[in-house]
Amino acid sequence: MLRFNGGGHINHTIFWQNLSPKGGGEPEGDLLNEIKESFQSFSKFKTQMSAAAAGVQGSGWAWLGYDPKTQKLRVQTCPNQDPLLATTGLVPLFGIDVWEHAYYLQYKNVRPDYVTAIWNVANWKDVEDRLRAAKAL
């Protein structure tokens, strides 16, 4: 119960801060450099993250996380409301909620369309702030 409800609170708090009506585009600065180092390019990261989000079976999350051990970024999925840090050790930077409630009213059951659209509202400033904080731990 605590994992589900606590994880839901943590995940959604990050999710809403990760989004902005003035978002979209590509990240800049340190975040873009880290993405290129970990995934070769922003395009390859976006493809990997989108595939992970679209491929979650049932309800869950796709995450861009920072691995403090390797000091690299990784894409990871979590089922249900499982929190990324507690279940994988990765520090959550950017999450895509793929529970049907996140997209059903607008996208019906076409999750890939929702995942494609989420990139238009990604708040890269928030994600970069999270990366900076994760590196300082």
Query: Which residues, other chains included, contact 107 with Cβ-Cβ below 8 Å and sequence gap of 6+?
Result: 113, 114, 117
Sheet containing 72-79, strands listed edge to edge, beginning at the edge strand earlier in sequence = 72-79, 60-67, 91-97
Domain count for the chain, please give it: 1
Residue 54 has pLDDT above 90, yes or no: yes
CATH number for the domain including 114?
A: 3.55.40.20
Q: What is the pLDDT of residues 66-118, one digit of tens each?
A: 999 999 999 999 999 999 999 999 999 999 999 876 776 676 777 899 999 99
Residue 70 neighbours by CB distance under 10 Å: 9
Give the separation between CA 127 and CA 53, rounded to whole angstroms: 17
pLDDT score recorded for residue 6: 64
State the pTM of this model.
Answer: 0.92
Q: What is the pLDDT of residues 2-45, one digit of tens each?
A: 566 567 789 999 999 999 999 999 999 999 999 999 999 999 99
What single-letter DSSP state applies at residue 40? S
Structural domain range at position 129 = 2-135
